[in-house]
Chains A and B, each alone.
Chain A
Amino acid sequence: MAWRHIARTLLHGPATEPAPPPDASDIGALAARLKSAAFSRLGRSLSLRQVDSGSCNGCELEIQMLGGIVYDLERFGLRFVASPRHADVLLVTGPVTRTMHPALIRTWQATPDPKWVVALGDCAIDGGVFKGSYAISGGIDSALPVDLVIRGCPPTPAAILEGLCTLIEAHARSPLKSR
């Protein structure tokens, strides 16, 4: 009976929240910025590789929501890829546990240049509540050079979208540089 559900969608339109006028909300404003920055300057979309280096999985829950029909990340030209070799951006969550430290660095090494690192969530910024534990080396910057931080415990999907779009705009203003 799948056709009934599809027909309903056709009649009622998509559940995806429409991009509001640019100044009306974060998502709308950022979508507009992304159009001018990502598509004209970068000339392509950005591929994201998410890496959990020690999170409690709260951040993963909110990142997963981005792919759903409400936020529909792909309409912004952003998409998640399965391998760091396909990625432009590493989206890293959690404090860096000492046990994940080597795997995180290997993932970064496997990502081709130019690449950016986004530290997502309060733990990723400086270790968050786990600061001072014997089992962590600190925030993401204790292992990798960080280009952008997105705050929150966990950040909301709207805040994550906003952060990712900021990255694109920032890099559109300066020549692409490889590390």
Chain B
Amino acid sequence: MNALALLHAAPTLPCAPFPRRLLSQQDWALLAAHLAAEPGLDLLAMWADPTHIHALFHDPDSADIIPVSTAVEVGLYPALSPARPAAAWFERMIRDLWGHTAADGTDQRPWLDHGHWPATPPLATRPLPNLAAPEPLEFLPFEGEGLHQIAVGPVHAGIIEPGHFRFTCNGETVVRLEIRLGYLHKGTLGLLRGKSPRAAARFAARLSGDSTVAHALAFAHAAEAACAVAAPPRAAHLRAVMAELERLANHLGDIGAIVNDASFPLLQARFAWHREAVLRTAHTCFGHRLMMDAIIPGGCACDLAETGPDAIALLLDTLQTELPGLIRLYDDTASLVDRMQGTGTLTPELAARFAAGGVIGRASARPFDARRIPGYAPYDRLDVTIPQFDHGDVDARVRVRLAELAETTRLLRLLLETLPQGPIALPLPMATAEGIGWSEGFRGDIWHWLRLEGGLITAAFLADPSWRQWPLLEAAIECNIVADFPLCNKSFNCSYSGVDL
């Protein structure tokens, strides 16, 4: 029996649209053992509730999405991290938030909990007052001749989010990077509890501000799946318009920021100018530059402004006129391309092991896209083209973004041409059910899980794609020089807030 057979043989619990498998602890341990020998099965996310551990798998062969759970026994469950390294951060987060320990987990140090919370574990049924003084973070030990450490953060030099980077270096060369996050933990999962999906949507919209549309969309999908309703066709179309505008804005900003870190501000100036144009167009269309709170469970909070289609057409025309020249400038500037190529290389093997999504996955030969698999309206009728590169360096990640700009432009025009008429929102029934929702943000595939009782949320998890991407940055920077870290970091552009919850 292999891992898949074990999952398919397990009894199921109702969870829409993917029934949740329930394994005994023995079977879960067996699953962990099988996973080590079967690298194909992707781990997408792990989370918990006060009594159970949950994991979300993706089978690339059948394109199945499989949620699976096991009961926690005396605070313990068998770890998945020895077989799936991406599970390590999830397991540390689960212990900090719910108090469940992964027996034989590869890393038992705290993750989100830096010792400052008033009661721990905060999402357990009965948290206990935390009376201990916070202890300094414990880092991985190192030994070797000529090694030194550089500590950066949590407050960084740029206008970015807080996190701690601990570089171990040999001269200029990075031997190891260890990332410690958790500084932005706002207790989002706790705030979701006891609220209706409509009231809770604004927390999902603020999990990571740059993906506010994508997270609000995944959250709405999860709530709608649980309540067994589908947003009206016009709402689905409007959501896609918002999501593609968000993708456009972020990719433009990212490409500019990356080339700026290679000291080429001319391109950055132009890309940032186009980004500003997208944000203003979003404001014209939906009344908010980032389109925050425009998507709600059941539909959309606002319709496209009357002047919206013309504004978007003008935006796309302007971008398409200038973009070829900007790409030529990138290609023709040897000193710039030299900084990009061969820098921060992520091998396809590692990207596959961590099931890296989005730009990072696509630049390292993993073209997964939640708009295609499992797919959702209206993309199921749009035939999205997904760019793929294999060389996995900063240059590849820039080129994926450039290719996606073109595809997003095409999708936006198509969406506006085929915008259906009709209502933009439906009321949600007061359900007692579970649902999983997903969306493809500019960073990659987002997965949300909700449990509702009498229409109110009793448990939830919001998985940002960065969970499976941050650890890969640690790998990609190895043997690069410290001065190239900003370049590598920008080309990944993982979310801090998104994983700090």
Contacts and interface: CB of A to CB of B under 8 A. Distances in A.
Interface of A: 1-2, 4-6, 15, 50-65, 67-70, 80, 82-84, 94-95, 97-103, 107, 129-130, 132-136, 153-154, 156
B272 interface: yes
Given A15-B269, A98-B117, 12 more contacts: A2-B266, A4-B325, A57-B495, A57-B497, A60-B209, A65-B272, A69-B272, A70-B272, A83-B157, A84-B155, A100-B184, A135-B187
8 contacts: A2-B329, A5-B270, A56-B206, A56-B212, A82-B157, A83-B157, A94-B184, A135-B117
Nearest to B271: A68
Interface stretch (B159-167, B236-244, B386-394): B159-167
A83 B254 CA distance: 23
B289 A156 contact: yes
Contact of A61 (B202, B207, B290): B290
B210 interface: yes
Interface of B: 114, 116-119, 122, 154-155, 157-162, 182-188, 190-191, 202-203, 206-210, 212, 253, 266, 269-270, 272-273, 275-276, 279, 289-290, 292, 325, 328-329, 332-333, 495-497
Residue of A15, A56, A98, A100 with most chain B CB atoms under a 10 A cut-off: A56
B421 to A, nearest CB: 31
A99 B210 contact: no
B155 A65 contact: no
A27 B212 CA distance: 27
A70 B273 contact: yes
A6 B266 contact: yes
A68 B272 contact: yes
A147 to B, nearest CB: 20
Nearest to B164: A103
A65 B279 contact: yes
A99 B118 CA distance: 11
A67 to B, nearest CB: 8
A68 B160 CA distance: 16
A154 B184 contact: no
Contacts of B279: 65
A60 B160 contact: yes
Contact of A52 (B118, B162, B185, B272): B162
A95 B186 contact: yes
A136 B187 contact: yes
Contacts of A130: 186-188, 191, 206
Nearest to B182: A99
